[in-house]
A and B are shown apart, each in its own frame.
Chain A
């Protein structure tokens, strides 16, 4: 720990033995049950998925440059947006933060040597790989053109290959459930001495809430995709109107998972930001309990909001109203977090580093994205916006603007923790600014497109929408450029980066109580927690207490 005074600071040393070099060879990685190595493998995998999804996204944007066909045919376009959705959501978003940072940091933050079930953890990763392979093989086998929502009866009648994707998702669901289960048990049983529930870092709280959703909601989507698969292959008629089935029932079952799934993606992001803000502002987390409980609140209330995806689907007006009003509560919980994050900055000692740029962007994006979510949950407004680019822009504000920003915050904040090396700060700033800018340029035009009435999943569109589409594509290329810069300097840092030292940010999160990168079993001796995390006073110093 770098509690030491800056005056006698010696140059940082790279720990001679750590989890990265404790064992050698590919086999030692593939059979590892070390949560940190599993996290690193997740990192590589989700980055690959993100790259793939990103390439699809760019292809879609280029296709939309002109109102007519540009670079691909309609069927290719339809398959591509399906793959973009499936890959980004199921292969990247859902495992990204829990799989990578949850796995890496949860035991460190708890002062544990590993997660509760290390072998199960490895199994999750393997299931993720198997599921991902099957999903992607479906792409090679002809591709699926249903959109990631698989609405029946289109999905059960489409001539394209659907089964591999459904099977892959079913397996990915298992992976997600097992990860969640593992984390819940870990948090319950493996907290270090002195680490009570109200001392947990907020990232842990967020992962806890996320895991609850994963465990409770994922079985339902597993069953649902199975039923669609059975219906498509066997003609069971459960969602088939010509046999008396109800396609709206499918929508209910699908969104019972897929709405909470949004919180599976965004809650860990909120956890990352809660911790990173405290670390970079050198401040205790303002309103700790409110943030912690609001995570649980979102997890809980998020289950009662799925019906707002069905406002124009033929659902009853009674249900529309009920789900709308509950959706508002999710907004309140998010607003609580935002207020507390901003207040955490108040009277801090803020070091403006790369993650801070993303945090600034994140705060703007989550308020704008969140409140446009409230706007589309306002029933009368949703009638116009439903299934238009407004909705696309809204959820990309949350998914990219909040989740990917948080992923990048986490990546930059914990990069030295994971690999013991620093990236180039200057390039980091440049890429961050590019991404925040490019993101706005990509998605703000899409809000306007939605206002103008352009429906989603449109291969060709009336000419009046072209200007905004071109603007959006231009923004997207900026965004892509930013990501490429990040990839380059991170890979460079991995090999040639400056040695970071054990705690380059002087962060007071518990995960920094060990060397960076950590040794194989995390701690040489079990840490004993004596105070809350993120308290930035020197020992013995008189603490100033402020109430606002």
Chain B
């Protein structure tokens, strides 16, 4: 099974730019299915980005974040070859984690 997380982390002169795309339905809990039943809320709550034993970014997401969410940020430091670990947890307790190399 392929990872639900896509990451692109690119080291620049003194910062590293991180872009991540997560495969997740992000059901808002306000949408009905074809039968007219509410699709219960199902969304990622937290995404954590760590490198060198330190958290560099945490996203707290509600149901208004789009399906297959995208996020982009930058942090100081980080160099080519460093590990960047990403972990998400959703409101049903599901989780996935991946470790990407900074490019």
Our verdict on whether A and B bind, yes or no, reads no
Interface of B toward A, CB cutoff 8 Å: none
Interface of A toward B, CB cutoff 8 Å: none
